[in-house]
């Protein structure tokens, strides 16, 4: 489906395509893409079964140049970081807000993955009485954990570490079963914690 | 701040710039931009004064081509329509969700402005017990109205009209004062309706 703008040569070599694909997969934007897809499938299931309405905020993009002569084609833009979390919505009448992170590490999640803006946003949601949490995937272990945002925020306030240890996440958080449908039933943790 | 990609001539003529600017203002994407800015300023005020946490979902963009050799520069993309509403968040512990529309007409708002997906989303939010509404600006009149989503959905179910008449919005909705700060205090309507 890729359309090439005028003047850009079309790449036909399968090998080069493969390399570019690999590059894309390893690049910043695509890290944890599978995890994102699994969450989106889960949310779709929740909406269809009327269990909750939780959606992903689109990736913010800084649009620099638009060609209005070609049907508002964006010709120059950059990905931006979310200043809030990636997901929010409503569950059992309550406002719910979370950030999802995937790591290839088996031992820890780097705290820098959750930006200062996102931490502030999570704190604000808590202050307003909302449900705030993190969803963390240790992709190599094939394990997913929900972690209350309040526990995360306390940790970074009290500890001087640069990362959340796997063992700590395992003890503080709640493991989410990975199943066929819903794929990652994180609302099970929310039921236990908040209702 | 506009950076031009290689091979694209920089436009220096002020007249041409003016024309492009006008074109951009009249184009689909920029319709109601001022209204959006005013709402964003209002939401910023609400967050800073700890009254609510309500944010705008970024405009979804369909990215076709990214140049990873140039720092993940997007070179080909298109604007997409939101499948949900533009704004959501938490207020007084409740989930809140709304769509904002601006019209230059003095007499009506075309119903087609709110897509089928958005109507479905509003209905789902209502079903989950959330607060759902529309914020409608009659820009030439300098008047803004909040309208409960339930009233909007009933109207399109019962009536065969293609637009919401101004007089009907005026009678069913609630006029929002436009002030210095917050710019468009729409939570005043929410207080009266839902609390």
pLDDT in tens, chain A (195 residues): 344 344 344 444 555 555 545 544 444 344 445 999 999 999 999 999 999 999 999 999 999 999 999 989 999 999 998 889 999 999 999 999 999 999 999 999 999 999 999 999 999 999 999 999 999 999 999 999 999 999 999 999 999 999 999 999 999 999 999 988 999 999 999 999 999
In-domain check, residue B68? yes
**Strands laid side by side in the B73-79 sheet:** A61-67, A73-79, B73-79, B61-67
Residues paired with B133 in a beta bridge = B98, B148
Q: Which domain holds residue A116?
A: 32-194
In-domain check, residue B176? yes
Site from B54, B90, B149, B194 to mutate, A interface, most A CB atoms within 10 angstroms: B90
In-domain check, residue B26? no
Query: Is the sign of the CA dihedral A170, A171, A172, A175 positive or negative?
Result: positive
Predicted ipTM > 0.85: no
Angle at A97 between CA A94 and CA A100, to 5 degrees: 145
In-domain check, residue B29? no
Query: Residues near B86 by Cβ (< 8 Å), separated by ≥ 6?
Result: B36, B56, B57, B98, B99, B100
Q: A24, B66: Cβ pair inside 8 Å?
A: yes
> Looking at residue A176, which CATH number applies to its domain?
3.40.1350.10
**What residues of chain B, 154 to 193, have a C-beta less than 8 Å from chain A?**
none
Strand, helix or coil at B191?
helix
In-domain check, residue A117? yes
In-domain check, residue B158? yes
Helices and strands of chain A, counted as H and E runs: 6, 10
> How does pLDDT run across B118-144, given as a tens digit for each residue?
999 999 999 999 999 999 999 999 999
Closest CA to B125 of A88, A100, A127: A88
Of B52, B65, B76, the CB nearest to A128: B52
A11 to chain B, any CB pair closer than 8 A? The answer is: no
Number of domains in chain B: 1
In-domain check, residue B5? no
């Amino acid at each position: 489906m890729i359309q090439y703008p005028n003047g850009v040569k079309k790449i036909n070599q399968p090998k080069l395509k493969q390399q570019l694909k690999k590059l894309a997969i390893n690049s910043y934007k695509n890290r944890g893409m599978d995890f994102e897809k699994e969450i989106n499938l889960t949310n779709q299931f929740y909406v269809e079964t009327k269990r909750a309405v939780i959606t992903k905020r689109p990736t913010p993009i800084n649009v620099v140049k638009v060609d209005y002569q070609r049907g508002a084609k964006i010709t120059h833009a950059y990905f931006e970081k979310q200043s809030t979390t990636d997901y929010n919505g409503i569950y059992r009448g309550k406002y719910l807000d979370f950030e999802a992170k995937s790591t290839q590490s088996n031992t820890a999640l780097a705290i820098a993955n959750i930006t200062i803006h996102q931490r502030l946003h999570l704190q604000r949601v808590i202050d307003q009485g909302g449900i705030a949490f993190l969803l963390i995937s240790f992709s190599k272990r094939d394990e997913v954990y929900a972690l209350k945002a309040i526990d995360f925020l306390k940790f970074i306030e009290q500890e001087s570490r640069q990362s959340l240890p796997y063992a700590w996440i395992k003890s503080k958080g709640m493991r989410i079963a990975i199943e066929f449908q819903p794929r990652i039933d994180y609302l099970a943790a929310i039921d236990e914690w908040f209702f």
